[in-house]
Amino acid sequence: MAAEGPAPEPQTQALDYYRPLQWQRAKSVEQHRQWNELVDRYHYLGAPGLVGAHLKYLVSGRQGELLGALGWQSAVQGLGCRDRLIGWDAAQRARGLVHVVNGVRFLILPWVRVRHLASVMLSESVRILQRDWLGHYGSEVWLVESFIDPARFSGASYRAANWVPIGWTRGFAKRQGVFVHHGQKKEVYVYVMEKGLRRRVHGDVQQPLLTRSFLLAQREVERKKTFARRERMKERRKQCHIPEDVTFKTKPELAGEILRAVTQSGYFPARWATCDCSFGNNEAFLASLPAPLLYLAEIPCSRRVWPQAAPGHPELEPDGGIVEGFLSVEGLLSWQTVRICEGEKGPIVAGFARIRVYTSAERTPGTERWLFLRNDCSAPRIVVATGGKVSRDKSWGLLRGPRS
C-alpha cells in the first residue's frame, strides 16, 4: 500500500478538460507496483492476485492528472448465465474461452469528481483492450464480462457505455485465488464485440446474433431461474437437515485442510505434495500448504511468469512471458535427457529443464519459484489442455523446493 502523504488536489473540471484520456499499460515493475498500490488502497476489494493472461492500465488526463485504473484478466471458466447465453458445451468452451475477457477491477480515484468520466473510460477501455489483447496474447476478444455489486453500484455507467446486464452470479468471490461463498449475488454485465459469437462457436449461421434485445431477453430468463432456484435451495437444505453453520468450501480449500491435518497428526510424515493445474494454478492453495511441505504443482501452458534472469532476452524480466512461449526462446532453457525408469516396452526417457522465475510482476522474494519443464521423448501423451491448445509431449509445473 502506498505511504501516507498530502491529499491529492481534487479533480472537478468538466470532462473535456481531461480529454483525450491517456492510457498507460503497466509494463515495468514500478508500473505494476503503482497499479497494485492504488487499487489496494482505493478499491473496496483491494488489489487482486492475478495469474494467467491479464493487462493493467493507469488512466490520466491530457495534462497527466492521474484519474483511475482498470484491470483485465482471462475469463473465469464457469459462469452460468454467460455459458447459457453462448450455449456452448465443455469442449466448445475450452476452445472459445480465450476470446472472453473479465474486467477484474475498475477504479476512479476518490478525489476525482468528473461527470460522465466512468462511462467514457469504460467505452474507451474495450477498444484499447481489443487492440492490446490481440497484440499481447494473439487472441481476438469477442466478449467482455464484469461483475457489479448491486448493493454498492447501480451499473448506470456500464449501461451508458453500452454494456448489457445478462444475469447474476451464484454468490461467490475470488479471494487470494480461492472462490469463497458469501451469498451476495453480483449482476453480470457484458460488452459484445462479436455479435456472431454463437455462429463462430457452433459453426452454424442459423444461430442468433447477440443483439441488445437478445441479451435482455436472456436476462429475463435468468431472473426467473435465479430466484426460483433460491426458493428450492432453502427448502432442500431444510429437508436434508443441513446445519446452518455448514458453509460451502471449494476443492482447494478442502484439500488444504486435509493436508494440514495430515501433517499435524504426524502419522504420515510426507515431504512432498504434487497436484494438477486446477490446484497448481491456485496461489492461495499453494500458500496454505504447511511450510515444511515441498510441492511440484502443474500449471497451464497459458500461465505468465517472470524469469529471474534471461540473458540475451532482457525484455522477459520486466514483461514476463507465457510458459509455452519459453520453449521457442533461444538460449533460455538448458535441456537434460534423463532415463526415468524401465517400462514394459523399454526404458522411459524424458528431457528436463528448469528456470528460476517469479509468479508475479512485482518479483518479490515470496513469489520466487522453480519453473520445471518435462518433454516426454519416448511416449507422447496428453498432459496439458488449456486455451484451446493441446500439448501432447510436454508438461510444466511450479516447484517449491531446494534452490540448487
Q: What is the pLDDT of residues 270-306, one digit of tens each?
A: 888 899 888 888 888 888 888 878 898 988 887 888 9
Give 15-234's CATH code, choosing from 3.30.70.60, 3.40.630.30, 3.40.190.10, 3.40.50.720: 3.40.630.30
CA distance 246 to 252: 17
At 243 the pLDDT is: 79
CA distance 59 to 109: 10
Q: How far is CA 258 from CA 94, 169, 261, 268, in A?
A: 30, 28, 5, 12
At 39 the pLDDT is: 94
Q: How far is CA 384 from CA 50, 153, 280, 299, 393, in A?
A: 21, 39, 12, 8, 9
Q: Comparing 326 with 70, which gets the higher pLDDT?
A: 70
At 231 the pLDDT is: 56
Q: What is the mean pLDDT of residues 32-51?
A: 90
CATH 3.40.630.30 intervals, the chain: 15-234
CA distance 77 to 90: 10
CA distance 298 to 319: 22
pLDDT tens per residue across span 210-238: 999 999 999 998 887 765 555 566 777 77
Cell triple for 239: 429437508
At 104 the pLDDT is: 94
Q: How far is CA 326 from CA 190, 323, 363, 369, in A?
A: 33, 5, 18, 16
At 228 the pLDDT is: 55
At 52 the pLDDT is: 77
Helices and strands in the chain, H and E counts: 12, 19
At 113 the pLDDT is: 95
Q: What is the mean pLDDT of residues 157-183?
A: 75
Neighbours of 392 (CB within 10 A): 11
Q: Comparing 83 with 285, which gets the higher pLDDT?
A: 83
At 304 the pLDDT is: 85
- Please state whether the predicted TM-score (pTM) of the whole model is above 0.75: no
Q: How far is CA 265 from CA 255, 259, 273, 287, in A?
A: 15, 10, 16, 20
